[in-house]
Amino acid sequence: MGEFKHLVFSGVQPTGNLHLGNYLGAIRKFVALQESHDCIYCVVDLHAITAQLVHDDLPGQIRSITAAFIAAGIDPKQHIVFNQSQVPQHAELAWIFNCVARIGWMNRMTQFKDKAGKDRENASLGLLAYPSLMAADILVYRATHVPVGDDQKQHLELTRDIAMKFNMDFMAKIRAAGLGTDIVVGDEPVHAYFPMVEPMIEGPAPRVMSLKDGTKKMSKSDPSDLSRINLLDDAETISKKIRKAKTDPDALPSEVEGLKGRPEADNLVGIFAALSDRSKADVLKDFGGQQFSVFKPALVDLAVEVLAPVNGEMRRLMGDPGYIDSVLRDGGARAGARAEKTMKEVRDIIGFVQ
């Protein structure tokens, strides 16, 4: 039995400002993974035009995600950072996957239903096919591990369904061409060209909730800017937002159980824990019995201490778009070479003359 070489791939859409939820939930995880894995991190600009075609400043958004990756500590030399549209093989494989996936599979995607809303007939065809492009992003590198949030789990299951159908439909050709690896899926031995990707959802990443409503996720689309901490917020803004964050009148509990039914308290303690790499229980050992008037200033100090360097470096990089573009071009060239190797094999397997 063989095994696919471990490779991490993830993508972030260049829409809206990055906030604390993106940082703690995704980017910080990306940084940690580069110690142990070969990693490819992609700014998915082709996905950005599925929900809305025309953007005010798409180049600025693409550069700002790239700057955030680098400022947070991703090493674009050791690993790969690039924007999706510079590697046309993503779109090419997505087309093939459009012919592998079934319309019924796409219609079941909850994110499509949410984003398309009531007027489904008027959603772009690209929005419906979004998961097929996401599968192509990952599988064009035959990546095995994908750090994502909980909301992307269904898309990764679909990625496995696409990989499985391709492997099954072409198994004889894959074998005849001397490609692929023997793996076991469930109990079944399969000769697979594409790996069965694994989500990396677990880990210390907290669900970061809105500062104005502890039951809603922190989101770039919330109309109130006070609901989120943006990665580009300066110290004063961070301080103001935390001071104005919604709380309840009680003191903090000394045990995690005491946070039940107190979503805002739970969220702020969770943010403190994540920013200081501690557990909530540990944070409550220090702050149990204290009022928010004591806890909030401590959280401000911590948030500023952790975020200010990222913020400063991000601003510095944004002032040098030439450098950012050179990182993306270099990443795109290296990613493209790997993607083309896969596509040559895929074109062969399908039977395209080349």
**CA gap 142, 339 in Å, rounded:** 9
Check if the beta carbon of residue 51 is closer than 8 Å to that of residue 18.
Answer: no
CB of 39 or CB of 238, closer to ligand TRP: 39
Of 8, 100, 148, 232, the one binding ligand TRP (CB under 6 A) is 148
Rounded to an integer, what distance in angstroms lies between the CA atom of residue 144 and that of residue 341?
A: 17
How many residues line the site for ligand TRP (CB under 6 A)? 13
Q: How is residue 332 written in tokens?
A: 């795109």
Q: Closer CB to ligand TRP, residue 137 or residue 233?
A: 137
Query: Per CB under 6 A, which region of 133-141, 202-210, 329-337, 338-346 contacts ligand TRP?
Result: 133-141
113 in a known ligand binding site: no
Structural contact between residues 272 and 245, judged by C-beta atoms closer than 8 angstroms: no
Length of the chain in terms of residues written: 354
Q: Is 138 in the site for ligand TRP (CB under 6 A)?
A: yes
User: Which bin fits 261, alpha (ψ -120 to 50), beta or left (φ > 0)?
Assistant: left
44 lies in the binding site for ligand TRP (CB under 6 A)? yes
Give the closest residue to 28 by CA, choosing from 6, 46, 48, 12.
12
Q: Is 197 a residue that touches ligand TRP (CB under 6 A)?
A: no
- The answer to the question of residue 134 lying near ligand TRP (CB under 6 A) is yes
137 binds ligand TRP (CB under 6 A): yes
Is position 208 annotated in a ligand binding site?
A: yes
Catalytic positions are 115, 217, 220
CA distance 238 to 297: 11
C-beta nearest to ligand TRP: residue: 11
Residue 195 interacts with ligand TRP (CB under 6 A): yes or no: no
- Pinpoint the alpha helices (H) of the chain: 20-22, 28-33, 45-51, 58-72, 89-100, 103-107, 110-116, 125-139, 153-169, 171-176, 235-243, 263-275, 280-287, 292-318, 321-350
Nearer to ligand TRP, 28 or 241 (CB): 28
Phi then psi for residue 200, to 5 deg, are -115, 90
140 binds ligand TRP (CB under 6 A): no
150 annotated ligand binder: yes
From 134-142, 167-175, 225-233, 285-293, give the range in contact with ligand TRP by CB under 6 A. 134-142
The secondary structure element, H or E, covering residue 231 is none
Pick one of 152, 210, 227, 311: the residue that binds ligand TRP (CB under 6 A): 152
The verdict on whether residue 15 carries a ligand-binding annotation is: yes
Q: Given the complex with ligand TRP, which of 41 and 272 has the nearer CB atom?
A: 41
List beta partners, residue 221: none
Closer Cβ to ligand TRP, 129 or 303, answer by number: 129
Stretch of 8-16, 121-129, 248-256, 284-292 contacting ligand TRP, by CB under 6 A: 8-16
The residues, ordered by sequence, that sit 6+ positions from 248 with a Cβ below 8 Å of its Cβ are 262, 264, 265
Binding residues: 13-15, 21-22, 137, 149-151, 208, 217-221
Binding site residues, ligand TRP, CB under 6 A: 9-11, 13, 44, 47, 134, 137-138, 146, 148, 152, 155
